[in-house]
Amino acid sequence: MEDAKLIAKKRTSEGSSNARRMRSAGSLPAVIYGDEKEPVSIELNAHDFGQILHHHASESLIIEIALEGEGDMNVLIKEVQRHPVTSDLLHIDLLRVAANKVIAVDIPVELVGEAAGVKAGGSIDHVMHSIGVECLPGEMVEAFEVDVSALEIGDSLSVADLNLDSKFKLLVDEDAIIASVSEPTAEEEEAEEATDEPEVITEKNVEE
CATH code for the domain of 121: 2.170.120.20
Q: How confident is the model at residue 1 (pLDDT cuts 50, 70, 90)?
A: very low
Sheet holding 156-158, edge to edge: 123-126, 177-182, 156-158
Residue 208 within any structural domain of the chain: no
Each residue's pLDDT tens digit, 78-91: 999 999 999 999 99
Give the torsion sign (CA, 186, 189, 190, 191). positive
Q: Are residues 117 and 190 in the same domain?
A: yes
CB 10 within 8 A of CB 68: yes
Domain span at 71: 4-97
d(CA 144, CA 129): 10
Residue 203 within any structural domain of the chain: no
Q: Which amino acid is at 168?
A: F
pLDDT mean over 131-152: 94
Residue 127 within any structural domain of the chain: yes
Is residue 173 predicted with pLDDT exceeding 90?
A: yes
CB 162 within 8 A of CB 128: no
Residue with the bigger pLDDT between 175 and 14: it is 175
Q: Smallest Cα–Cα separation from 97: which of 158, 35, 29?
A: 35
Number of domains in the chain: 2
The predicted structure's pLDDT at residue 181 = 97
Residue 202 within any structural domain of the chain: no
Q: Are residues 149 and 181 in the same domain?
A: yes
Is residue 54 predicted with pLDDT exceeding 70?
A: yes
For the beta carbon of residue 74, count every other beta carbon within 10 angstroms: 18
Residue 168 within any structural domain of the chain: yes
Residue 32 within any structural domain of the chain: yes
d(CA 57, CA 48): 16
CB 114 within 8 A of CB 30: no
Q: Are residues 73 and 124 in the same domain?
A: no
The last residue of a domain, from among 97, 125, 142 = 97
CB 118 within 8 A of CB 124: yes
Q: What is the mean pLDDT of the chain?
A: 87
136 Cβ neighbours under 8 A, 6+ residues apart: 99, 100, 101, 102, 103, 167
Residue 153 within any structural domain of the chain: yes
Q: How confident is the model at residue 207 (pLDDT cuts 50, 70, 90)?
A: low
For the beta carbon of residue 87, count every other beta carbon within 10 angstroms: 8
Give the chain's radius of gyration (CA, Å).
24
Least confident of 135-139, 142-146, 195-199: 195-199
What does pTM read for this prediction?
0.75
Q: What is the CATH number of the domain that holds 90?
A: 2.40.240.10
Q: Are residues 78 and 127 in the same domain?
A: no
Is residue 112 predicted with pLDDT exceeding 90?
A: yes
Residue 200 within any structural domain of the chain: no
